[in-house]
Amino acid sequence: MSLVQARLAMGVVLSVLIAGCGASPPIQYYMLNSVVVTGKERPHLAPNLSVGLGPITLPEMIDRPQLVVRTNTNRVVVADTHRWAGLLKNEIPRVIAENLSRILGSTNIRYYPQHGSDTAETRIYVDIQRFESVLGKAATIDAIWTIQRAGSTGRQTDSVHVQESVPDESYDAVVAAYGRAVFAVSQAIASTLQAAEAASSTP
């Protein structure tokens, strides 16, 4: 092969490599969303009740920008081109707070760390113990929460296991299922909060 041919061959190889690099898939960003609540679903609760939500703890495995999906019992995939638009440790409390505001009909629900909650009448601490999904199957959340009134040493703890179906193998479907699952967690927290407030107001 002549020097000219060698240079031409090298140029072709470099062109292919550059084209391959340029064909990398773009990063997709996803947001958790709250759910619209109808009036019939709202429990009766004092509208002026102030609630401080958080901090919320998450499994270390999912506390990252990328979506993490399970492929089998022992294996997960960290989807580098599918990422959360914000940090989950901030997005989950934001969505739960929005859901609680709509479920309870209250505008006095603040969440950590965006809003200070030390002066709230009632504090809610949430531990997300499981937050995982399988493409085309289901999104699952296991959560435990503790409710405590200001100035009281008593605490009320409850938990929930939620599973929402993922109708197809797209990441959009996974995120939508997570949104429904977080709403179900929010409903369970609202029920516990309602029971706690009813008990505290009983003479």
- Domain CATH number, residue 177: 3.40.50.10610
CB 83 within 8 A of CB 30: yes
Is residue 18 in a domain? no
134's tokens: 């399988």
* List of residues 6+ apart from 171 with CB closer than 8 A: 28, 30, 67, 79, 82, 135
Q: Hey, what amino acid is at 201?
A: S
Q: Residue 20 falls within a domain, yes or no?
A: no
pLDDT class for 75, splitting at 50, 70, 90? very high
Q: pLDDT higher for 151 or 97?
A: 97
By residue range, what is the domain housing residue 46? 27-201
Answer yes or no: is 195 within a domain.
Answer: yes
In the chain, DSSP assigns E strands to 28-30, 51-57, 66-72, 75-84, 109-111, 122-134, 138-149, 156-165
Residue 5 lies in a domain: no
pLDDT at 117 (0 to 100): 53
Judge whether 19 lies within some domain: no
d(CA 85, CA 83): 6
Query: How many domains does the structure of the chain reveal?
Result: 1
Rounded to the nearest 5°, which phi and psi values hold at 153?
Answer: -90, -10
For residue 3, tell me if it sits in a domain: no
CA distance 164 to 202: 36
Residue 197 lies in a domain: yes
Q: Which of 86, 72, 151 is nearest to 118 (CA)?
A: 151
Kindly report, residue by residue over 7-51, the tens digit of the pLDDT.
Answer: 555 555 555 455 555 568 899 999 999 987 665 555 555 667 789
Q: Is residue 13 part of a domain?
A: no
More confident residue, 198 or 77: 77
